Amino acid sequence: MRCPICRKSVTWEGNPFRPFCSERCKLIDLDNWLAERYRISPPVETGEKNASAENPVPDTEGDRD
Amino acid sequence: MSKQKAAEPSGAQAYDATSIKVLGDLEAVRKRPAMYIGSTGAMGLHHLVWEVVDNSVDEALAGFCDRVDVIVHSDNSVTVTDNGRGIPVDMHKEEGRSAAEVVMTVLHSGGKFDTKSYKVSGGLHGVGVSVVNALSESLDLEIWREGYTWEQSYERGKPLATLKRAGKTERRGTKVTFLPDAKIFDSIEFNFDTLAQRLRELSFLNRGLTIRLKDERTNKQSEFHYNGGITEFVKHLNKNKDVLHATPLYAETERDDIHMEFALQYNDGYAENVFSFANNINTVDGGTHLSGFRSALTRAINQFGQNQGLFKDVKENLQGEDVREGLVAVVSVKLPQPQFEGQTKGKLNSDIQSTVASFVYEKLMEHFEKTLAVGRKICAKAIDAARAREAARKARELTRRKGALDSGGLPGKLADCQEKDPERCELFLVEGDSAGGSAKQGRDRRYQAILPLRGKILNVEKARFDKMLAHEEIRALITALGTGIGKEDFDVSKLRYSKVIIMTDADVDGSHIRTLLLTFFYRQMPELVERGHVYIAQPPLYLIKKGKKTQYIHDEKEFRREVLRRATEDHAVEFGEGSKKLRLEGGELTNFLMAFGEYIELYSKLEKRLGDGRPIDALLRAELSKKVELENQAKMEKVAKDLRAEGFKTTIKLDEEHNIYFLVIQSETQPERIIDWDLLTSPEYRRLFDLHKRVHVYDRPPFTISSNGNKVRIEDRKELVEHVMSVGKKSFTVQRFKGLGEMNPTQLWETTMDADQRTMLQVRIEDQVEADSIFTVLMGDVVEPRRQFIEENALDVKNLDI
Interface touch B384/A23, C-beta < 8 Å: no
pLDDT number for residue B782: 46
Q: Are B686 and B766 part of one and the same domain? A: no
| Catalytic site includes residue B16 | no
Q: How far is B540 from chain A (nearest CA, A)?
A: 13
Q: Are B444 and B467 part of one and the same domain? A: yes
Q: Are B202 and B171 part of one and the same domain? A: yes
List of residues 6+ apart from B336 with CB closer than 8 A: B115, B119, B120, B257
The pLDDT tens digits of the residues spanning B341-351 come to 865 678 999 99
Candidates A20, A21, A33, A49, partner chain B, best to mutate (most B CBs within 10 A): A33
Domain with B126, as residue range(s), is 2-225
DSSP state of B267: B
The pLDDT tens digits of the residues spanning B623-664 come to 888 888 888 888 889 999 999 998 899 999 998 888 899 999
Q: What CA–CA distance (Å, rounded) separates B28 from B107?
A: 9
Candidates B316, B458, B601, B790, partner chain A, best to mutate (most A CBs within 10 A): B790
Write down the catalytic residue from B8, B146, B321, B507: B507
**Contacting B residues, span 343-402, partner chain A, CB-CB under 8 Å:** 384-385, 387-388, 390-392, 394-395
pLDDT number for residue B399: 73
Q: Is residue B379 helix, strand or coil?
A: helix
User: CB A59: neighbour CB atoms within 10 A?
Assistant: 14
Q: How far is A55 from chain B (nearest CA, A)?
A: 6
DSSP state of B108: T
**Is B403 domain-assigned?**
no
Residue (of B667, B623, B620) closest to B645 by Cα position = B667
> B732 — contact with chain A (CB < 8 Å)?
yes
> B797 — contact with chain A (CB < 8 Å)?
yes
Write down the catalytic residue from B215, B322, B505, B562: B505
What does chain B come to in residues? 802
Residue that finishes a domain, picked among B736, B757, B778: B736
> pLDDT category, B700, cuts 50, 70, 90?
confident
Candidates A60, A61, A63, A64, partner chain B, best to mutate (most B CBs within 10 A): A60
Q: Is the pLDDT of residue B559 over 60?
A: yes
pLDDT number for residue B337: 85
Taken in order B29, B30, B32, B36, is the CA torsion positive or negative?
positive
Interface touch B487/A64, C-beta < 8 Å: no
**Is B394 domain-assigned?**
no
Q: Are B517 and B767 in contact (CB under 8 A)?
A: no
Q: What CA–CA distance (Å, rounded) separates B38 from B146?
A: 36
Interface touch B516/A53, C-beta < 8 Å: no
Q: How far is B398 from chain A (nearest CA, A)?
A: 11
**Is B683 domain-assigned?**
yes
Q: How far is B763 from chain A (nearest CA, A)?
A: 16
CATH number for the domain harbouring residue B417: 3.40.50.670
Q: Are B290 and B424 part of one and the same domain? A: no
Q: Is the pLDDT of residue B420 over 70?
A: yes
Residue (of B315, B731, B345) closest to B544 by Cα position = B731
> B270 — contact with chain A (CB < 8 Å)?
yes
pLDDT number for residue B246: 94
| Catalytic site includes residue B186 | no
pLDDT number for residue B464: 56
> pLDDT category, A42, cuts 50, 70, 90?
low
Q: Are B453 and B428 in contact (CB under 8 A)?
A: no
Interface touch A60/B464, C-beta < 8 Å: no
Q: Which residue has the higher pLDDT, B761 or B401?
A: B761
Q: Are B570 and B467 part of one and the same domain? A: no
- The whole-number average pLDDT for the span B760-772 is 80
Write down the catalytic residue from B215, B431, B562, B676: B431
> B463 — contact with chain A (CB < 8 Å)?
no
| Catalytic site includes residue B431 | yes
Q: How far is A1 from chain B (nearest CA, A)?
A: 9
User: Of B466, B487, B765, which is closest to A39 when you measure between CB atoms?
Assistant: B466
- Sheet strand arrangement including B649-655: B649-655, B660-666, B673-675
The pLDDT tens digits of the residues spanning B726-739 come to 988 888 888 888 88
Domain count, chain B: 4
Mean pLDDT, chain B, rounded, equals: 86
pLDDT number for residue B794: 40
Taken in order B59, B63, B65, B68, is the CA torsion positive or negative?
positive
> A10 — contact with chain B (CB < 8 Å)?
no
Is the preceding peptide bond at B452 cis, omega within 30 degrees of 0?
no
- B480 phi and psi angles, rounded to 5 deg: -65, -40
- Chain A hits for B800, CB-CB cut-off 8 Å, are 43, 56
CATH number for the domain harbouring residue B221: 3.30.565.10
> A13 — contact with chain B (CB < 8 Å)?
no
ipTM above 0.85, yes or no: no
Q: What CA–CA distance (Å, rounded) separates B201 from B190?
A: 18
Q: Which helix (H) or strand (E) holds B641?
A: helix B633-645
**Is B382 domain-assigned?**
yes
Q: Is the pLDDT of residue A50 over 80?
A: no
> pLDDT category, B258, cuts 50, 70, 90?
very high
Residue that finishes a domain, picked among B170, B195, B225: B225
> pLDDT category, A52, cuts 50, 70, 90?
very low
Q: What CA–CA distance (Å, rounded) separates B55 from B49?
A: 10
Q: What CA–CA distance (Å, rounded) separates B543 from B558?
A: 12
| Catalytic site includes residue B505 | yes
Q: Are B528 and B625 part of one and the same domain? A: no
Q: Are B462 and B476 in contact (CB under 8 A)?
A: no
**Is B400 domain-assigned?**
no
Cβ burial of B412 (10 Å; 0-12, 13-18, 19+) is: exposed
Candidates B321, B387, B602, B788, partner chain A, best to mutate (most A CBs within 10 A): B387
Q: Are B379 and B267 part of one and the same domain? A: yes
Q: How far apart are the first and last CA of chain B?
A: 66
Q: Is the pLDDT of residue B612 over 70?
A: yes
State the CATH architecture for A1-39: 2-Layer Sandwich (3.30)
pTM of the full structure: 0.66
> B617 — contact with chain A (CB < 8 Å)?
no
Q: What CA–CA distance (Å, rounded) separates B460 from B453?
A: 21
pLDDT number for residue B86: 93
Tell me what percent of the residues of chain B surpass a pLDDT of 70: 88
pLDDT number for residue A65: 35
Q: Are B665 and B649 in contact (CB under 8 A)?
A: yes
Q: What CA–CA distance (Å, rounded) separates B442 from B740?
A: 12
Q: What CA–CA distance (Å, rounded) separates B105 from B139?
A: 11
What does chain A come to in residues? 65
Domain locations along chain A: 1-39
Interface touch B735/A64, C-beta < 8 Å: yes
Residue that finishes a domain, picked among B225, B256, B278: B225
**DSSP secondary structure, B202-218, as one string:** HHHHSTT-EEEEEETTT
